[in-house]
Amino acid sequence: MGKTKESKKQGTNKVRRSISTTLLVVILPIVAIGIVAIILFLNNQASKSLMALSKTALQADAEREARKVGTPFQMLTSKFGEYADTLENVPFKDRDAMLTYVKPSVDYQPVPNSGIYLGFDDGTYMFANGTKQDADYDPRERDWYKSGMENDTFGITEAYTDASTGELCVTYSRRVDLNDGSKAVMAMDIFLTDLQNTMKEIAPMGTGRAAILSPTQVIYYYLTERNGKTIEEVGTEYTRNLSEYTKSDKTEVIELVTDKGVWNYVAKYEIPGTNWTLLAVVAEEDVVREANAFRNLAIMFMVIILIVISAVVFIAIRKIIAKPVGKLSESILRVSDGDFTAAMPESKGDEIGLISSGMQSYVERMKLTIADIQNRANQLKTDSTKSKEASNFMTGEANDQSVSMGQIQEAMDGIARAVTELAENATDLAQSVSELTMNGNSTNEAMLSLVKRADVGKNDMNSVEANMDRITTSMGEMADVVTVVGESAEKITDIVGMIDSIAEQTNLLSLNASIEAARAGEAGRGFAVVADEIGKLAVNSQEAAQEIAGIISEITGEIHKLSDQSRTNMGAIEESSEAVKKAGESFSTIVGELNEAANTMQTMIGMMNNVNDIASSVAAISEEQSASTEEVMATVETLAKSAEDIAGTSQDVENAANSVSDSAGSINDALSQFKI
């Protein structure tokens, strides 16, 4: 049986996977992923840089070759431009003198050409190389002449095949305004065989090809059968894409796929002295070859680094961690089996050494602790025997105390019931008195409000009485004014009568004056007019006086009515004033009686408050007495319960003492297994 337990322990303590293996499983993937990520990132950046450098190199090759190709054309147009300027500015004796002047152009060959030839606006011509045309030859009907007349600098024609040599060539032509006032076109044929041979030798970036396109034609292509054909005649999608690229504003290197599905990088540069564009073309696989080589080198370097790092990490983990941890684990296993005599490995100052030192300290403390526990277990066994004897005595005393507490509890129950009834009655009395006091306060507030309102009414009646006195005075004054106005109206009536009388007399005088003027004849005509006007004025005055008299009569009637109404109002106002005085006296009496009633109510409220205080005091005392009784009862109940609990606890103590005694023996047996 013992061997079986030991074998189980050994199986349990067997290491399933070493710490070095665990660390390698965790660290190596992280390191590998990190290195792979770094290498891939660097490879990606390097590839981008190499691609950028390759594109820059391709663009530089295109520019260099374009300048190299265009320089002879620039030299030729510059030199022959000097001939044209001389013909425009220098007077020549005749055409033969001009021919003599341009003959040396045949010997100027930066690029193979025919030398200068001229077509004049009169249909004549001359060739510096002495060429003679048919008798019906008219330069004005030639394309080079027509296009040249439109340009004051050299322009280039479309490429064509020369009939005599079979070579591909182009013609440069321009207008020349001769010094004698006539016009001519200067032209020269340029042969492109040397240019094509030069283009065959151009290899951008060592493996590429070059091509030259005009806006509408293929000037040079490595497939020579396309040279001299238009873009549409070639008809391939790739050629059209190249042509569109030359015409676009793009300056960067682009990618185009050929008709065979091969991707190419293409750079362009305009050839100086022409309207052509040189295209530098290199296959994508040639451009990325260096990037792929760098990638392969990076992958190989990455694998080597991973192998080296894995080996270094494995050796370091095994030496620094695995061996020290193995020794430490063996010592800890001995301690776990109860052998505290096991020694821990020496500390080397690292974390494992710190654990080893800590475990050694723990083992030493456990030795002391186990020895102390053994001593205390023996002491505990002795003390448990004494506790058992004390618990037996406590059980008997607790039972006696429980009986006494029951008798005290019955006596306190009767006292509590009496005090509770007294408290309830006192509380009811306090509540009734409180409600009565609240009603008295409400009544008192209503009485005070009524007194205030009566006082306000009294003041209002005094104000009304004063206002009635003022109205009476005002009505008297108004009656006096009405009387004065009546008298004034009568005076105005007298004045109006006087005016009417004067107007009537004036009218009579006017009639008499008119009669006298009529008697006077022509001498009295002016006086008659005046008399007539005076008569009209008198009539108008009389009519106005009569209207005023009518208005005064109406006003006088209204004044008499107003006077009568004023007398009537005076009588009514005097009666109202007497009534107001009586009402004011009544309000004064009511206010006095209400004040007495309010004082009486205040006295009643004070007495009821005293009764309420007494009832509240009785209720409070009763409640305090009841609470005290309840506390005493609660205390008695607690003591009774405590006595019962003590009795039960004493039994538990006895049982615990027995258990402690047994446990102390078990502890001693268990501690005997440890080696200290």
Residues 80-97: pLDDT tens digits? 999 999 999 999 999 999
Can you give the pLDDT at residue 44? 72
Distances (CA, A) of 38 to 32, 226, 556: 10, 49, 126
Can you give the pLDDT at residue 3? 45
Residue with tokens 């992280």: 30
User: Other C-beta atoms within 10 Å of 161: how many?
Assistant: 11
Task: Give the CA-trace dihedral at 448, 452, 454, 459, to 10 degrees.
Answer: 160
Can you give the pLDDT at residue 514? 77
Can you give the pLDDT at residue 203? 92
Distance CA 57, CA 569 (A): 126
Can you give the pLDDT at residue 8? 44
H or E element at residue 369: helix 351-520
Can you give the pLDDT at residue 444? 66
Which regions of the chain carry the CATH code 3.30.450.20? 50-291
| Segments in the chain below pLDDT 50 | 1-11
Which regions of the chain carry the CATH code 1.10.287? 364-670
Can you give the pLDDT at residue 599? 76
CATH classification number, 364-670, choose in 1.10.3470, 3.40.91, 1.10.287, 3.40.50: 1.10.287
Can you give the pLDDT at residue 490? 75
514's CB contacts (< 8 A; 6+ apart) are 528, 531, 532, 535
pTM beyond 0.75: no
Length of the chain: 676
Can you give the pLDDT at residue 193? 94
Can you give the pLDDT at residue 388? 67
Can you give the pLDDT at residue 505? 78
Can you give the pLDDT at residue 151? 92
User: Other C-beta atoms within 10 Å of 207: how many?
Assistant: 12
Architecture of domain 50-291: 2-Layer Sandwich (3.30)
Can you give the pLDDT at residue 9? 47
